[in-house]
Amino acid sequence: MAFEKRLVLPGERVGVIEEFIFKEGLWANRRGEIIAKKVGTVNYELRRHEVALRPLKRDARPKTGDIVLAAVRELQDRVMWCDILGVAGIKKALRYSGAILRTSKLLDFNVGDLVLAKVVDDTFGTYTLSVEGKELGLVLGFCDFCGRTLADRVNVLHCNSCRRTFRKKVSIQYRNFGKLLFMFPVETMTQVT
Ligand SMILES: [Zn+2]
């Protein structure tokens, strides 16, 4: 793959100068580490050994390509309806609805689960969300049986109460509340009623 993308926070190391020529939004420290200046997406152009940071935009409504935090509201056979609680990089998000297509057993989420997703389509005011990629997927999941918070073990989610395990599409940010609250500060979030 010639391109790679990843979400970063200011101060996060994105590579070393021996490997990459760094472009906008990045700087290098004395140890030769390339560091992000802002919250954004780093784009690696692997063939050209270039890395650049695209800051997350501050805008009024979610757009294709935006990263959102969503809560699952309703499950249907082929679609999971979600409430978009926050859009990374946007000060105040209004309430929007999103849909995740249930194309795999790994997408058997529960109502109330929190998901980090990307807007892949925004025609007609309906946001189609995708959880493809390591960064995206469940960030907080609840047990199918007892409703307790699931713990993240290697490749599976585990309920400490029923001792059941679940295989679901999990984000590498699962329960990483520090990073999630940085990306989606509480005061910018939409209340779900
Ligand atoms: Zn349980």
Burial class (CB in 10 A: 0-12, 13-18, 19+), 77: exposed
Going from the Cα of 183 to the center of ligand 1, the distance in angstroms, rounded, reads 29
Please give the model's pTM, rounded to 2 decimal places: 0.69
Centroid of ligand 1 to alpha carbon of 184 (angstroms): 28
112 C-alpha vs ligand 1 centroid, how far in Å?
A: 15
Burial label, 61 (beta-carbon count in 10 A; 0-12, 13-18, 19+): middle
DSSP one-letter code for 167? -
Strands (E), the chain: 3-8, 13-16, 21-22, 26-28, 33-36, 40-45, 50-55, 67-75, 79-87, 96-101, 114-121, 127-130, 137-140, 151-153, 156-158, 165-166
Rounded Cα distance, 86 and 52, in Å: 25
Question: Residue 10's pLDDT is what?
Answer: 81
Task: State the distance from the centre of ligand 1 to the C-alpha of 129, rounded, in angstroms.
Answer: 27
- Residue 60 confidence (pLDDT): 58
pLDDT score for 93: 63
Centroid of ligand 1 to alpha carbon of 105 (angstroms): 19
Q: Cα of 161 to ligand 1 centre, how many Å?
A: 5
Tens of pLDDT along the chain (193 residues) come to 466 778 888 889 999 999 999 998 999 999 999 999 888 889 999 899 999 998 876 555 788 888 999 999 999 999 999 999 888 877 666 678 899 999 999 999 999 999 999 999 987 667 999 999 999 999 999 999 999 999 998 889 999 999 999 999 999 999 999 999 888 887 777 665 5
Residue 151 Cα to ligand 1 midpoint, Å, equals 10
DSSP state of 136: -
Distance between Cα 162 and ligand 1 center (Å)? 4
Q: How many Å separate Cα 79 from the centre of its chain?
A: 19
Distance in Å, CA 144 to ligand 1 centroid: 7
- Residue 145 Cα to ligand 1 midpoint, Å, equals 5
pLDDT at 143: 94
In the chain the domains, ranked by start, together with CATH numbers, are: 3-55 (2.40.50.100), 67-185 (2.40.50.140)
Between the CA of 117 and the centroid of ligand 1 the distance, in Å, is 25
